[in-house]
Amino acid sequence: MDKDIRKNVLESAFGLARALRRGPGHMERSLPPAVERTLMVISENDGLSSGELCELLDMRPSSISELSDRMAARGLVEKRADESDKRINRIFLTELGKAQVSRIAEVRTEALNSFSACFTDEEAEKFCELAGKLAAHLSDTAEGEGCCGHRGPHKGPHGCCHAEGAEHPHRGMHGSGEGHGCGHHGPHGHGHCLHRHPMHRF
């Protein structure tokens, strides 16, 4: 493939990204996205406990408690004590909540149909195949470069510079210790890299 075609692939990808930011494809919403998502999850598992909802939505208990209280205040859900354990509250959709779920599903279907209306079924299938292939390629490329983007001879299993004493432009000033050489060590170059310990980001 010549370089002009390769360039066109990149320009097409950027053009699609710009078009997605501008719309169309934005759903008409009467509720915040977080509320819509929560209602949809509850509709598939009516009677969830707050803890179960936390796991399904990957949210903190305090956030779920606040969100469910707001939805209950709007009449979208109701909380009932668990029959076998009164300490547990279970969350159920009200009739208003069920009506909102039906509306959300309808709007989503319309948005999905409108979004790709220019494609035939065959073209849509091919687009998904090619987009998935490109996404996987970009993901693999990013992993190959590692968190610091260094491709030197000392690249370790995480794509970074694990080798003892390995030097490259991204290492810290002191560059020593147990870190994995991506330059994201603590103030003295020791093993406190946020890439190795993601919980330290919070």
Q: Which of 17-26, 127-136, 167-176 has the lowest mean pLDDT?
A: 167-176
**48 Cβ contact list (under 8 Å, min separation 6):** 41, 42, 56, 90, 91
Identify the domain containing residue 56 by its residue range. 33-115
The total of other beta-carbon atoms located within 10 Å of residue 155's CB is: 20
Residues 106 and 154 in one domain: no
Write the pLDDT tens digit of every residue in 162-193: 444 444 444 444 344 444 444 444 444 444 34
Dist CA 146 CA 140 (whole Å): 10
Q: Is residue 156 part of a domain?
A: yes
Residues forming a β-bridge with 81: 89
CATH of the domain at 37: 1.10.10.10
Write the pLDDT tens digit of every residue in 66-97: 999 999 999 999 999 998 988 899 999 999 99
- Residue 84 to residues 50, 77, 88, 89, 91, Cα–Cα distance (Å): 15, 21, 9, 11, 15
The total of other beta-carbon atoms located within 10 Å of residue 173's CB is: 10
Ramachandran quadrant class, 167 (left: phi over 0; alpha: psi -120 to 50; beta: rest):
beta
Residues 84 and 147 in one domain: no
Structurally, the chain folds into a number of domains equal to 2
Q: Is residue 71 part of a domain?
A: yes
Residues 107 and 156 in one domain: no
Q: How confident is the model at residue 113 (pLDDT cuts 50, 70, 90)?
A: confident
Q: What is the per-residue pLDDT for 75?
A: 96
| Mean pLDDT over each residue of the chain, to the nearest integer | 75
Q: Is residue 12 part of a domain?
A: no
Q: How confident is the model at residue 4 (pLDDT cuts 50, 70, 90)?
A: confident
Q: Is residue 16 part of a domain?
A: no
